Amino acid sequence: MVAGLGNVGKIPDLRKRILYTLGMLAVYRFGVFVSTPGVNVEALRRMFDTSSGTIFGMVNMFSGGSLENFSIFTLGIMPYITVSIIVQFLTPAIPALEALKKEGASGQRILTRYTRQATIVLALFQSFFIARGLELSPGLVIEPGWIFRISTMITLTAGTAFIMWLSEQITERGIGNGMSIIIFAGIIARMPQVLVQTLALSRTGELPPMSILLLIAFVLITIAVIVFVERSHRKVPVQYPKRGKMEMAPQQYMPLKVNMSGVLPPIFAYAIIFLPATIASFYPSEVLQDMMAYMAPGNPVYYLVLIGLIFACAYYCTAVVYNPVEVADNLKKGGAFIPTVRPGTETADYLYQVTNRLTFWGAIYIALVCVIPEFVYFKMGVQSFAYVFGGTAILIAVGVTLDTASQIESHVVASNYESFMSKTSNTKGRGGTMSQIRSRTLKR
C-alpha cells in the first residue's frame, strides 16, 4: 500500500480528486468559525469549560468545535447521519421502503430524497430546542424571543443542508466517503488544540510528565489495537463450480469483518447514556441530578451501562447491515456452497452462528477500546483529552483513514492497469510474440 500511495502525485485524476476534497474541507472549516447571530459566544464557551459529561461534548467533537462557537455549522452532519441510520433500520421493516431498495439506482434516488427531506425536518426540530435551551440559560442569548428562535432555526438548518451537499460532492467528485471525511476532519482539527492544552498542564505542574507519557502510550496502543482488529477477518470457505464444467473451481473465501457494526454502537451508546445529563443541564430536576451522580464518567454504574448499551447496539446494527438469509440465497443462486454445509436454510443458520460469535468478540473489542482509555483519562483529570483522543474518536479516525487509503490504492492500481494495457496494445501493434511483449513491458 505504501508503495502505491507514493504514486499519488503522478496520477492527474487522483490528484484532482484529492485537491478537490481538501478544498471542500477548507470551506467546511471556515464555516465552523462563523458564529450564529444573537448568541453570546464567550458566555457559551465558559459554559462548555465548566460543564462536561453531556451529549454536547460528543457533538462538539464530531463538529470540530462548531458547537462551542455556536457557528452556522453547529448541528453539523449529525442530523443527516441520524436520518440515514433510521431509514436504514426501517427499510427491512417497511415493505414500501424495501421495494424501493430492490429497484436499484432509481429506488435509491427516491430513498436519498426522503433522507434529505427528513434531515431538514429533524434539523428544524433540533435547532428549535437548542435555541429554547439557550434562552433558559441566563446570559447566553442577547435578545431572547421568537425572532431569535426563528433566525436560529433557519441558520442552523441551512448550515446542515450545506454540509449535506458538501459531503455528497466529496463522495462524488473527491476521494472517500464525504460524510465520514467531514466527521474525520472535525475530530482531527480538535486534536492539536487539546494536545497543546494538555502539554500546558504539564508545564504548570498540574499534570506530571509521566502522565503525559502514559497518555501518549495509551493513544498509540489504542491505534494499534484498532488497526489490527479493523483489518482482521473471519474467512468462510466457499466453493464455486467452474463455468460450463462439472468440476469445482479452487476454493475461495468470503471475508467477514470482526467488527461488522463499525462505529455505530459507541455513537448510539454515548447518545443514550448522556441524554439524562443533557436534559438536566437545561431543565434541573432532583431525580435527574441523582441520576447524573450515578451516570457520571468514572462511576462503575456508568461503565456497566455503557458496556451493556454497546453490546445491545452491536447486535442490533449487525442484524441490520448483514442478512445471513439473503447471503445464503445469493450463494445458492450462484451454485456456490460452504463445504460440509447444505445450501439454503442450513447455510443461513451457519452464517448466523458465525456472525453471532463475531459480533460478541467485536462488541468486547469496542467496549474495551471505548471504556479503558476513557477511564484512564478521566481518572487523570483530562476530560477534554478523553473526548478527542478517546476510543470512539480514534476508532472513527482510524477507520476513515484505512477506508480512504484503500480507495486511493484502488485508484492507483486502476491507473497502473490502464497504463499497462495501453502499453501492451501499442506493443502488439508493433508485432512480436507474447514473450517479447512481456520482455518489452518489463524493460519499461
In a domain, 97, yes or no: yes
Domain extent, residue 162, equals 1-192
pLDDT of residue 440: 47
12-44 residue pLDDT tens? 788 888 888 889 988 888 888 888 888 887 877
DSSP letter at 424 equals: H
How many domains does the structure of the chain reveal?
1
In a domain, 389, yes or no: no
In a domain, 170, yes or no: yes
Proportion of the chain in helix, strand, coil states, percent, rounded to 5:
75, 5, 20
Name the residue among 19, 6, 22 with its Cα closest to residue 412. 6
Strand partners, 248: 241
43-93 residue pLDDT tens? 777 776 655 545 566 666 666 667 777 888 888 777 887 787 778 778 777
DSSP letter at 239 equals: B
pLDDT of residue 275: 63
384-422 residue pLDDT tens? 777 778 777 888 888 888 888 878 877 777 776 666 566
pLDDT of residue 67: 72
Q: How confident is the model at residue 434 (pLDDT cuts 50, 70, 90)?
A: very low
190-234 residue pLDDT tens? 788 788 878 887 777 777 878 888 888 888 888 898 889 888 888
Side-chain-side CA neighbours of 1 within 13 Å: the count stands at 10
- Out of 97-101, 280-284, 289-293, least confident range: 280-284
pLDDT of residue 101: 79
Whether 443 has a pLDDT exceeding 50, the answer reads no
Whether 431 has a pLDDT exceeding 90, the answer reads no
Name the residue among 412, 373, 410 with its Cα closest to residue 393. 373
In a domain, 159, yes or no: yes
In a domain, 73, yes or no: yes
Q: Is 113 helix (H, G, I), strand (E, B) or coil?
A: helix
Backbone angles phi, psi at 6, to 5 degrees: -70, -15
In a domain, 375, yes or no: no
When mean pLDDT is compared over 160-164, 258-262, 267-271, 374-378, the highest value belongs to 160-164
- Tell me the average pLDDT of the chain: 78
Amino acid 221 reads I
CATH of the domain at 67: 1.10.3370.10
Whether 343 has a pLDDT exceeding 90, the answer reads no
Backbone angles phi, psi at 257, to 5 degrees: -65, 145
Q: Are 40 and 142 in contact (CB under 8 A)?
A: yes
Whether 323 has a pLDDT exceeding 80, the answer reads yes
Q: Determine the Cα–Cα distance for residues 190 and 60; give it in Å rounded to an integer.
A: 10
162-180 residue pLDDT tens? 998 998 898 888 887 888 7
pLDDT of residue 63: 66
Contacting residues for 178 by C-beta, under 8 A, at least 6 apart: 24, 166, 167, 168, 169, 170, 171, 172
In a domain, 26, yes or no: yes
pLDDT of residue 441: 41
pTM: 0.74
pLDDT of residue 51: 55
In a domain, 301, yes or no: no
Q: How confident is the model at residue 154 (pLDDT cuts 50, 70, 90)?
A: very high
| Phi/psi-derived region of residue 432, left when phi > 0, alpha when psi is between -120 and 50, beta in every other case | left
**What average pLDDT does range 155-160 have in this prediction?**
90
More confident residue, 6 or 296: 296
Q: How confident is the model at residue 439 (pLDDT cuts 50, 70, 90)?
A: very low
What is the separation of C-alpha 96 from the centre of its chain, rounded to a whole number of angstroms? 28
